[in-house]
């Protein structure tokens, strides 16, 4: 079976609010705040533990010819949480069941955990940018029809922001540089090393893990801003 291309997505609520806010300030004749001048609204999402797999790994775990099936389309175009999950076996023989696979398939296998997950399983997982897996711990994955031993690939994903080139130009940053993320609310804090990733295919979105999201008390209504 092949995955079905995503249907045209309705605008995200934050995108609609961004346009309305900009029009309201213009109508009132008031200067636009920086957040309203930005090309796109800022979306901050918590990325729960998950893995990325190669087509060969998917076949090993789920059977010959198997392809990932979308369960939920994500904010970035073409990215989805798959119906399929695997069991992750750590060095202490402790397991995480139902570890979600994110699609589409990639050219390397990678497991992304929060620090709490890593400690519980017995991993010394370093903070790395996605794809930088050299020298990282390996693990065992179990699927419905097979096992897969990864010699490396277990990381804690560095907090990062996806940017379109227009966003990068607005904030004055380049791919691989860092920007601050200021989070408001009762547990207000600032992330000082938000890794910048830039692509014409990206929409402006920050990814932090569950530990980081819990630490700053992130909710859909929490005010956030990027600070160059």
The 3-state DSSP class for residue 9 equals coil
Q: What's CA 12's distance to the chain center, in Å?
A: 17
* Residue 113 · residue 121 · CB < 8 Å: yes
pLDDT of residue 33: 65
Shortest CA distance to 112 belongs to which of 216, 202, 212, 209? 209
Compute the Cα dihedral for 110, 116, 122, 123 and give only its sign: positive
Domains and CATH numbers, the chain: 13-23+31-45+159-227 (2.40.40), 53-157 (no CATH)
| Tens digits of pLDDT across the chain (228 residues) | 445 555 545 666 667 666 666 666 667 777 666 766 788 899 999 999 999 999 999 999 999 999 999 999 999 999 999 999 999 999 978 899 999 999 999 999 999 999 999 999 999 999 999 999 999 999 999 999 999 999 999 999 999 999 999 999 999 999 999 999 999 999 999 999 999 999 999 999 999 999 999 999 999 989 999 998
pTM of the model: 0.86
Strands (E), 31-177: 43-46, 50-52, 70-73, 80-89, 95-103, 110-112, 127-128, 139-142, 147-150, 154-157, 160-163
How much is the pLDDT for 1?
Answer: 47
Query: Residues, the chain, total?
Result: 228
pLDDT at residue 183, rounded to an integer: 98
What does the pLDDT read at residue 191?
98
3-class DSSP assignment, residue 65: coil
Rounded CA separation 213/47 (Å)? 9
**Residue 4 has what pLDDT?**
55
- Residue 186 has a pLDDT of 96
Q: How far apart are CA 113 and CA 52, in angstroms?
A: 12
């Amino acid at each position: 079976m092949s995955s079905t291309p995503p249907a045209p997505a309705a605008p995200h609520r934050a995108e609609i609010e961004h346009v309305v806010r900009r029009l309201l300030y213009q109508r009132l004749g008031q200067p636009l705040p920086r957040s309203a001048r930005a090309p796109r609204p800022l979306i901050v999402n918590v990325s729960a533990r998950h893995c990325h797999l190669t087509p060969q790994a998917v076949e090993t775990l789920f059977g010959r010819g198997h392809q990932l099936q979308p369960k939920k389309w994500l904010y970035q175009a073409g990215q989805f949480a798959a119906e399929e999950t695997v069991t992750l076996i750590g060095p202490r023989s402790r397991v995480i069941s139902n570890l979600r696979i994110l699609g589409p398939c990639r050219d390397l296998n990678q497991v992304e955990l929060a620090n709490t997950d890593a400690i519980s399983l017995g991993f010394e997982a370093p903070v790395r940018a996605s794809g930088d897996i050299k020298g990282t711990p390996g693990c065992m994955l179990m699927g419905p029809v097979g096992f897969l031993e990864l010699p490396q690939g277990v990381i804690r994903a560095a907090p990062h922001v996806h940017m379109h080139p227009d966003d990068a130009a607005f904030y004055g940053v380049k791919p691989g540089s860092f920007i601050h993320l200021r989070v408001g609310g009762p547990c207000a804090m600032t992330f000082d090393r938000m890794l910048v990733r830039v692509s014409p295919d990206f929409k402006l979105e920050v990814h932090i893990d569950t530990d980081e999201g819990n630490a700053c008390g992130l909710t859909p209504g929490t005010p956030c801003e990027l600070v160059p």
